[in-house]
Amino acid sequence: MGLLSDPNRRKAITTARILILNMILVLHGDSVVCYLAGIAWFMGLAFEPFTLRTYMSENAMGSTMVEERFPSGERALATAREFAAHKKKVGGMPVDWLVKTMRAQGLEVFTQSFSRNLPFPDESKERFVVRGTNVYGILRAPRAPRTEALVLSAPCSPGNSNNQAVGLLLGLAQYFRSQIYWAKDIIFLVNEHDLIGVQAWLEGYHHTNITGMGYTPLQGRAGSIQAALSLELNSDVVTSLDLVLEGLNGQLPNLDLANLFHAFCQKLGILCTIQGKLQRSDWDTVEGYTHSAQTMLLMVLKQASGRPWGEHGLFLRYHIEAASIRGVNSFRQYKTDATSIGRLFEGMVRKLNNLLERLHQSYFFYLMPSLTRFVSIGYYMPAFGLLTTILLLRALDLWVHLGTPTPVTEDGVGEGESPSSPGLLSVLTPVVISHLTGVALYTLPVLSQEMAVEHFPVSETEAVVLTAIAIYTAGLALPHNTHRLISGEGTEQGWRVLKLVALLYLAVLLGCTALINFSLGFILAVTLVPAAACVTPHVPKALSAVAMVLLSPGCTILYCVFLFQELQEVPVSLAEGWMLFLSVISQGILDHALYGSLVYPLLALLVYPCWLLFWNILFWK
Amino acid sequence: MAALSRKWDPLFVLVLGSLVFSCKGDVLKTSNDRTESISATKIEESSPQAADLGDLRQSDEAESNEDRKAFTPPPPNDQFQEEMVIRPLYSGDIYASFQFRTQWDTDFLHDGKKAVSHYRLFPKSLGQVLSKFSVRELHISFTQGYWRTMQWGQPFIPSPPGAELWVWFHHTVTDVDGNWKELTNVLSGIFCASLNFIDSTNTVEPSASFKPLGLGNATDHRFLRYATLPREIVCTENLTPWKKLLPCGSKAGLAVLMKSEKLFHSSFHSQAVHIRPVCKDWQCTSTAWELRQTLNVVFDLYTSGQGKKEWSLFKMFSRTLTEACPLASSSKIYVDVTDNPGGELFDLSPSSPLISTAVVLGDRRTYSVYDLTKKETFGQLRSLNLLLRWKGESDDMLRPPLHAERYVSGFGLQKGEIHTCLYNSHPYRAYPVLLLDSLPWYLRLYVHTLTVTSKTRENKPSYIHYQPSKDRLRPHLLEMLVQLPPHSVTEVTVQFERALLKWTEYTPDPNHGFYIGSSVISALVPSIVAMDTNSTRDRPLFSSFFPTKEESSYFMRVYTEPLLVNLPTPDFSMPYNVICLTCTVVAVGYGSFYNLLTRTFQVDEPSAPLAKRLANIIRRLRGVPLL
């Protein structure tokens, strides 16, 4: 109580303040140390001794082993061939055949048709107006009151892909139907138009409409879905199975799902990978470390993109733990047949069936340098914390500098209210203008595509992407114009206040992003923090301008594209990389429109304006 | 509303009663001495499991001993009937429904205890409960699984998943809530079920949906209590006490088929006890008590039948029948052969010459009847093993005129919306239904968001009875009368917010979710027989112009599926971590710090005072430890 009133204490506080001031002066040079420490910490996460081994947390799935008896892999492949023939005949999803087959297996079969107009044509998948039908069959668990369900899904993809997945799905359905031990209903979903179909089905199932999808209401339901597995299989035999975890907005399923997959791969002797990379045992060599670092970086890049990397990704929004399992057929000697894959699924579904509660025991926030190792949130957050500390220290530094001169000149009375009022306007104007630019970047590309197509010889998709890039670049010219709106000169005090605001803004922004999607937050922090920390109007203009542009969010995406290709061992040339970059942007905008991915609005409405503030500071007059 | 319920009362009795009313007195007489021995042991066996009834039982036994001394066989005023209906379902599954009916011409409520001291066929444990708690009507059901109306059609007696209990108390009862609480605890003991979890937070007093099924037209719903436990799991331990209530137990008669490993290897299992006062005779001069025990089970084509459409008693129950219950006045098996008039759909062997026709659930059904009291039914092998073998594919089932489904929409853990869809499949008739919803208090209903829409137009309910919840005391009760347009889907939606419970109020498995009981839809549904206007069937023309009264509509109750709702759940390992951490900090850090702060330090004096030195010299001499 007496803490502030006591004159002695006040003196102590002043001393403390001076101490902090000195400390900041010392720390000034330590920003670099902080930055390097953050990066080093992050890279250290891939080093095996620093990470934890995965372990099954959920009791219901841990100790109770199940016996896998799925016998009919060959028959499943025959069904797959039949499905392929019907698919070819119909020229799309063979709805009638699927309904008939599933009904003959004793499932309750329902269909759902949906339609979706894309905001602009999707060139990578060549679609604009999407119409399709989902077929799903429900296996009702005996003596269960329709309260819980599991989902097994397989996409009906165009061309010759994924036929085996549908075949295996139907084979599993037939086998599961004659078993008595089910406690949860099992939904077998064959969806058309991959993610759009899944999105329509999920929205129909939960009776929501987030993305403006047109669909017919579902006729059959099975209570709350506890977990989902998505199956992608392109060949009769596979060499390995790849686990895909990254979902919409960087959401991940509970780690126990990954553990479950790994446990069954071990049990059945199936090679399993994550990010397409096998596990290595030589962690103490440089190659071993690089391998796990690559795996982890791939996961970070995929998570940061915020898009669903498999059909499972859309389930996560509804609090359904889900993962995609993808069969890979490479030129290895070791092959696994459909029966083994069927057994793997049987085992996983049976264990999920044993669940008493939703998967909640294990981690939801993690990175995986390999399938047996994980980095939990407690281990990776310090890396991000170290980067944000720089912003906070800089902000503290500015605040102290802004605060101290006033008491010296005016004897500590009436603490400088007069200089702050012009400051407010000079700060507010750039903030508002850069956010308006952000709004333009968010809305105009899709809105103005028709106009662009009329006037320029480009396709709609190109029009959208190029408009986005044009607005992005036009934003760089703003500082020269904002000053016309501000009456009078920008003061020294002015840019400090603006930078203080911008630093805090960036820190909060990155902090919030990292809590939801660590990878995105971290990648943005790696490029934005140095620019934000160093920029002042007093540095050499041209050089810093180039550095700033290179560290802007747009360029970050470009680097990520190249890095991703490099890590996937399909390096691209500059021109190809640029084309990829353009398609990544269009995909980002589409993901936002179709599935509600938040990365594009986050970048356009918040991160880019924030970066513009620093750009403003650089050109402060 | 009263009119609605009263209208179907006699109908119900007629429909189900007509199947069992044929009385066989001769069987009862021949087995009279056996009856005595069995009922005597029955009295010994049926010890009431609740402690409350201890004193009651002792006095009863004393009285019954007195009765036995001066025993002259009175004309039996009770009778027992058993029957089973087998209905092959369109899905290839098979539905078996048992009904055991004990009727006793006595009155538990008026004549005092003396009149009901001697029990013969009626189970004593239930009789004592009836008289002690002044129960007028009691309906209890235990169900494992959900009745799939769209695949299986309508059940004979519907029941919601889990346990359901509804009781009408006599109008002289003053403390209904007290009686209800005790009754649930006693029943919990009798049926080995968790009925003791019924308390004020899941009990409601429906104003219109549950009317007495027996005599008397009490309409004051203050004497009615209704509760469901959707999470109740039904298993062998519930079946055994249920079987013990039967006069023959599971020793003879139809009940020998009830082997629990087969009954619980099925898609649906439901057992129930219904007690109600009925008319003693056709003139209804006095009342009798009727105990009706029902058991419904559906065997799955794929898991029990190995995918072959071929059913037999042995395949279903792994037993065959050899005799009727000797105490039963009638014992029959009915097999539904309506869709198989010429035997082209399936073979039924052994075939039965007896055919019975009845209007069941609004449809005229034909049954092959097997009378177990007759020797020739069992044939030369002296065992009856009914065999149904399919020859052709059955066509699609007629859509049941009314069915319903319910689900929670939305995502996230803050809000949600309950959708109840009511399907009226009747091609041209609209009819009203009563919807009863009882929701626990931790779903905070936004009643202003209640909407009823059919065919995209608002459908205003003509009657709404809503009782808001009280936190931790009382559930929501929502009853309404909705008119369902023909061939339509009516959707009732209401939004809710998920409450954050106190941390001790969560169940041990909070991440499983919380169960919300089924909503109940009661309706007078226009019958299928009356729907049949283009008279393709061979009926006299003069019989088909006006639909007859009892066929024009029939009562039907539909239960929706229960819901599993996730509430915002804290991480329960967190308090544990916090407790551990704070305890450590307090014990080690704060403790030592506090010790340091409060300890008074004293400088040790280098030289002791004179007296102490002297004392020490003396002590040393004595060999005693120094001071």
Q: What's the pLDDT tens digit per position in A199-246?
A: 999 999 999 988 888 999 998 899 999 999 999 998 888 999 999 999
Q: Looking at residues A518-537, what average pLDDT do you find?
A: 91
Query: Looking at the predicted structure, is the pLDDT value of residue A415 above 50?
Result: no
Decide if A106 and B162 are in contact by the 8 Å CB cutoff. Answer: no
Tell me how far apart the alpha carbons of residues B87 and A274 are, in angstroms, rounded to a whole number: 53
In this complex, the residue of A147, A178, A358 whose CB is nearest that of residue B303 is: A178
Query: Chain A contacts of B564, Cβ < 8 Å?
Result: 147-148, 223-224
In this complex, the residue of B405, B566, B569 whose CB is nearest that of residue A221 is: B405
Query: Chain A contacts of B229, Cβ < 8 Å?
Result: none
In this complex, the residue of A144, A180, A358 whose CB is nearest that of residue B303 is: A180
Decide if B307 and A178 are in contact by the 8 Å CB cutoff. Answer: yes
Query: Chain B contacts of A319, Cβ < 8 Å?
Result: 411-413, 566
Query: Does an H or E element contain B168, and which?
Result: strand B162-169
Q: Scan residues 19-78 of B and list those with Cβ closer than 8 Å to A.
A: none
Tell me how far apart the alpha carbons of residues B364 and B532 are, in angstroms, rounded to a whole number: 11
Query: Looking at the predicted structure, is the pLDDT value of residue A418 above 50?
Result: no
Question: Which pLDDT belongs to residue B280?
Answer: 81
Query: Looking at the predicted structure, is the pLDDT value of residue A392 above 70?
Result: yes
ipTM score assigned to the predicted complex: 0.86
Question: What's the order of all strands across the beta sheet hosting B463-467?
Answer: B463-467, B476-484, B431-439, B520-526, B553-559
Question: Which pLDDT belongs to residue A498?
Answer: 86
Question: Which pLDDT belongs to residue B611?
Answer: 82
Question: Which pLDDT belongs to residue B55?
Answer: 42
Question: Which pLDDT belongs to residue B1?
Answer: 41
Q: How far is A87 from chain B (nearest CA, A)?
A: 27
Determine the residue of chain A that is closest to B516 in CA distance: A147
Query: Chain A contacts of B405, Cβ < 8 Å?
Result: 221
Question: Which pLDDT belongs to residue A461?
Answer: 84
Decide if A224 and B562 are in contact by the 8 Å CB cutoff. Answer: no
In this complex, the residue of A140, A179, A208 whose CB is nearest that of residue B409 is: A208
Decide if B268 and A358 are in contact by the 8 Å CB cutoff. Answer: no
Decide if A147 and B564 are in contact by the 8 Å CB cutoff. Answer: yes
**For chain A, what is the mean pLDDT?**
86
Tell me how far apart the alpha carbons of residues B443 and B565 are, in angstroms, rounded to a whole number: 9
| Per-residue model confidence as pLDDT tens digits over A68-83 | 889 988 999 999 999 9
Beta carbons within 10 angstroms of residue B373's beta carbon: 17
Q: How far is A571 from chain B (nearest CA, A)?
A: 41
Selection from B79, B72, B70 nearest residue B31 by Cα: B79
Instruction: Please give the structure tokens belonging to residue A222.
Output: 């099975």
Tell me how far apart the alpha carbons of residues B485 and A266 are, in angstroms, rounded to a whole number: 58
Query: Looking at the predicted structure, is the pLDDT value of residue A347 above 70?
Result: yes
Determine the residue of chain B that is closest to A179 in CA distance: B303
Question: Which pLDDT belongs to residue B576?
Answer: 82
Tell me how far apart the alpha carbons of residues A431 and A494 are, in angstroms, rounded to a whole number: 13
Tell me how far apart the alpha carbons of residues B160 and B163 are, in angstroms, rounded to a whole number: 7
Beta carbons within 10 angstroms of residue A266's beta carbon: 12
Decide if B410 and A108 are in contact by the 8 Å CB cutoff. Answer: no
In this complex, the residue of A179, A207, A360 whose CB is nearest that of residue B419 is: A207
Q: How many interchain CB pairs under 8 A, A with B?
A: 91
**In angstroms, how far is CA B340 from the centroid of its own chain?**
32
Q: How far is A358 from chain B (nearest CA, A)?
A: 6
Q: Scan residues 212-271 of B and list those with Cβ closer than 8 Å to A.
A: 230, 264-269
Q: What pTM was computed for the model?
A: 0.85
Q: Which positions ≥6 away from B20 have C-beta within 8 Å?
A: B81, B83, B99, B101, B330, B332
Instruction: Please give the structure tokens belonging to residue B275.
Output: 């007690």
Determine the residue of chain B that is closest to A203 in CA distance: B410
Given CB atoms, is B570 within the 8 Å cutoff of chain A? no
Given CB atoms, is B594 within the 8 Å cutoff of chain A? no
Q: How far is B49 from chain A (nearest CA, A)?
A: 28
Q: Say whether A255 sits in a helix, a strand or coil.
A: helix
Q: HEC profile for A550-570?
A: HCCHHHHHHHHHHHHHHHCCC
Tell me how far apart the alpha carbons of residues A363 and A255 are, in angstroms, rounded to a whole number: 5
Tell me how far apart the alpha carbons of residues B497 and B505 are, in angstroms, rounded to a whole number: 17
Q: Please, is B335 exposed, middle or buried when counting C-beta atoms within 10 Å of its C-beta (0-12, 13-18, 19+)?
A: buried
Question: Which pLDDT belongs to residue B481?
Answer: 94
Ranges of residues in chain B with a pLDDT under 70 are 1-75, 109-116, 217, 528-551
Backbone φ and ψ for A224, nearest 5 degrees, come out as -85, 130
**In angstroms, how far is CA B279 from the centroid of its own chain?**
24
Query: Chain B contacts of A140, Cβ < 8 Å?
Result: 148, 267
Query: Looking at the predicted structure, is the pLDDT value of residue A525 above 70?
Result: yes
Selection from A528, A523, A505, A490 nearest residue A617 by Cα: A490
Q: HEC profile for B340-369?
A: CCCCCCEEEECCCCCEEEEEECCEEEEEEE
